[in-house]
Copies of this chain bind each other. A is one copy, B any other.
């Protein structure tokens, strides 16, 4: 099998790539990295990702890391497999690119901090920091206000079709939906429909149950 994904169950960045692999209907080997034993800081893993973080990725002799770089590679290289995650028209793709950046620069920083405080810390018996929650809920609300407006004009963030711009949200969204932060999505009708729709995609369901 040519494609290998070195990741960890529960890692949002690993899940981002699994979502993409499922959409592109690609077979791959999932290699579980034992983070509890610091395998991600071993010399062998550091040669795959020098930052010592999951995921790392291989496609034949090509080695990549950074989840969003891997999804970009998959979407472009396997354009004719599975579901399209990019668009052909360069100007429309430039707009998709804007919303890919918005996820990375605006949604992720607030969303991942909330996922950590509200969903992951409790699993490990750690105490949620309410100040961090309040601060990041405010930031996330500002982002979701922009999304509500955008999604009243187009079905998906990047335009009329589901693209990487939507897909990249799924892992953090998954965590937040099980927390009180869900109300921030529910309160915005277009955001709420969008969130439900992208989470019900068969490829995503496959990715999280694989």
Contacts and interface: CB of A to CB of B under 8 A. Distances in A.
A94 B72 contact: yes
Contacts of A62: 91, 94-95
A95 B150 contact: no
Given A69-B100, A100-B69, A101-B69, A94 B64 contact: yes
B98 A65 contact: yes
A100 to B, nearest CB: 7
Interface stretch (A35-43, A102-110, A189-197): A102-110
A63 B89 CA distance: 15
A71 to B, nearest CB: 10
Contact of A94 (B69, B98, B150): B69
B106 A51 contact: yes
Copies per complex of this chain: 2
A97 interface: yes
Contact of A146 (B50, B91, B100, B142): B50
Contacts of A94: 62, 64, 69, 72-73, 77
A192 B93 CA distance: 36
A76 interface: yes
Contacts of A101: 66, 68-69
A125 interface: no
Contacts of A69: 94, 97-98, 100-101
Contacts of A105: 66, 104
8 contacts: A51-B102, A51-B106, A62-B94, A64-B95, A66-B97, A66-B105, A69-B94, A73-B94
Interface of A: 50-51, 62, 64-66, 68-69, 72-73, 76-77, 90-91, 94-95, 97-98, 100-102, 104-106, 142, 146, 149-150
Given A62-B95, A64-B97, 5 more contacts: A50-B146, A66-B97, A73-B94, A77-B90, A104-B105
